[in-house]
Chains A and B, each alone.
Chain A
Amino acid sequence: MIRIGNASGFYGDRFSAVREMLDGGDLDVLTGDYLAELTMLILGRDRMRDASLGYARTFLRQLEESLGLALERGVKIVSNAGGLNPTGLAEAVDELGLGAKVACVTGDDVRSRFPDALTANAYLGAWGIAEALRAGADVVVTGRVTDASLVVGPAAAHFGWARDEWHALAGATVAGHVLECGTQATGGNYSFFTEIDATRPGFPIAEVHRDGSSVITKHDGTGGAVTVDTVTAQLLYEIGDPAYLGPDVVSHFDTVRLEPHPRGVRISGVQGSPPPDTLKVCLNFPGGFRNATTFVLCGLDVEEKAALVRRQLEDAVGSEGLTWTLARTEHADADTEETASALLHATIKTTDPKRAKAFSRAGIELALGSYPGFHVTAPPGDGTPFGVYRAAYVPRGSVPHRVVLPDGEVVDV
């Protein structure tokens, strides 16, 4: 059995989780997921400003605090915090000077095939991570590998799985899917939260077995809960067809069996089949600029108030690219001002940054000359660039999945 924990479900998750997971009990591997479609866009903008950025900086600060502890306990660290710049992150981890053996998985960046994209990253699988761990790495940082690969890689390395052990790979993928969003598996964002203590859920752990089955659990003494229901909730997160496509295996979610276990929930029975010949690519294109504001419409004549401010704002900046929604949250004859108020949301999307900025100026200029009771929930800012997401698929063979081992050797995966 290999005990794989998770300490991050997104870039911005609980900072202290790395230390808590290392301190809180036994682990073999600690993983952290920092990437999402939106995160790639945010990192893409970081990279535009400074080519040495493009990775999740909080991860480096977490390691600054806890890498010594991980090395002392013999816990391997595996994370996709490398984002758009895994090599840069690996160098930064080296520079922490703790003597950790650091490996780095690369090749996901396929911008050369999508020259108009701000970011273009193929979802790589688990085998680069497995190769790095087999070579003795203490820390493995990657770019865009699938979230579940962070669990599949360590399990595959530990058990020496072959690349066609579909059922074992699928079982570990399901365990990885449960772990990838951190506390969403342990009672966070959980429909039946009133039945548990959801104040501070512990982060999840998968005890993965040789056949790919697993027990989902968490450290003793941590909050939240691991039950068939909390795990079911996370299994249903961000999935589509029950045949869940991944770069290493297709995992059939309609074969997953869950049952209560003394330490949490046992997952078994998962069937796997060979993966497609293509890899999915996450693309973010520059979309233009957006700005938004929310007008508060209190009391009487809500529709007319909305129509007036809309007419005024559109006279000032034009109606093109504006979206309006009126949320009728007001109650008649209400005994609080807030519950007497409706909310009118206005959003502008435009290719012209000046127009996005003019939107906020126009909104503010109305302050003394619009509907009675005019105010906004927050003053509009200058507007921000936004991205447009697309998925694409490329032949597997066209993506140079590589791992740079701690001794500098580069291995094709």
Chain B
Amino acid sequence: MKVPLGTIAGARSGDKGGDANLGVWVRTDAQYAWLAGELTADRLKELLPEAGEVVRHDLPNLRALNFVLRGLLGDGVASCTRFDPQAKALGEWLRSRHVDIPEGLL
């Protein structure tokens, strides 16, 4: 079913110098198995086309994936001209994107 990712996933994002990070987590093991397969770094770039280089780190113990979006914020928050220079709402943007989620996980 095509629904917002945020139907099952929470997220939090922020800045670290010129990089942004975006953590995504879900609340059951079955949802995590799906998320880890679905949300590759390439898939994240499809969903968030503003992203450049993306590195994914897995945290299965937290049922979470952490993405580092390299260079998204240029020279850091004070210099950055991007909308949302601290990447605070990057996670909520991702949660609003529509993806195919198996009905059994909803």
- Give the B-binding residues of A (Cβ under 8 A): 37-38, 41, 184, 189-192, 229, 232-242, 253-258, 284, 287, 290, 292, 323, 325, 327, 345, 347, 349, 386-391
Could you tell me the distance between the alpha carbons of A189 and B59 in the complex, rounded to whole angstroms?
21
Contact of B62 among A232, A284, A325, A390 (CB under 8 A): A232
Q: A236 and B78: CB pair below 8 A? A: no
Q: Which residues of A contact B23 (CB under 8 A)?
A: 233, 235-237, 239
Count B-side interface residues using an 8 Å CB cutoff. 37
Task: Identify whether the interface residues of A are mostly helix, strand, loop, or mixed.
Answer: mixed
Q: A323 and B81: CB pair below 8 A? A: yes
- Give the A-binding residues of B (Cβ under 8 A): 6, 9-12, 14-19, 21, 23-25, 27, 57-64, 66, 68, 75-79, 81, 83, 88, 91-92, 95
Q: A37 and B64: CB pair below 8 A? A: no
Known contacts A236-B66, A237-B23, A287-B75, then 19 further A-B pairs from the complex at CB < 8 Å, ordered by chain A residue: A38-B78, A41-B78, A189-B12, A232-B63, A233-B25, A235-B62, A236-B21, A237-B12, A239-B21, A241-B57, A242-B59, A253-B59, A284-B78, A290-B79, A388-B78, A389-B17, A389-B75, A389-B78, A391-B17
Give, as a whole number of angstroms, the nearest-CB distance from B12 to chain A: 5
Q: Which residues of B contact A191 (CB under 8 A)?
A: 6, 9-12, 91-92, 95
Q: Which residues of B contact A232 (CB under 8 A)?
A: 10, 25, 62-64
Q: Which residues of A contact B57 (CB under 8 A)?
A: 240-242
Q: B77 and A37: CB pair below 8 A? A: yes
Q: A229 and B27: CB pair below 8 A? A: yes
Give, as a whole number of angstroms, the nearest-CB distance from A255 to chain B: 7
Could you tell me the distance between the alpha carbons of A169 and B69 in the complex, rounded to whole angstroms?
29
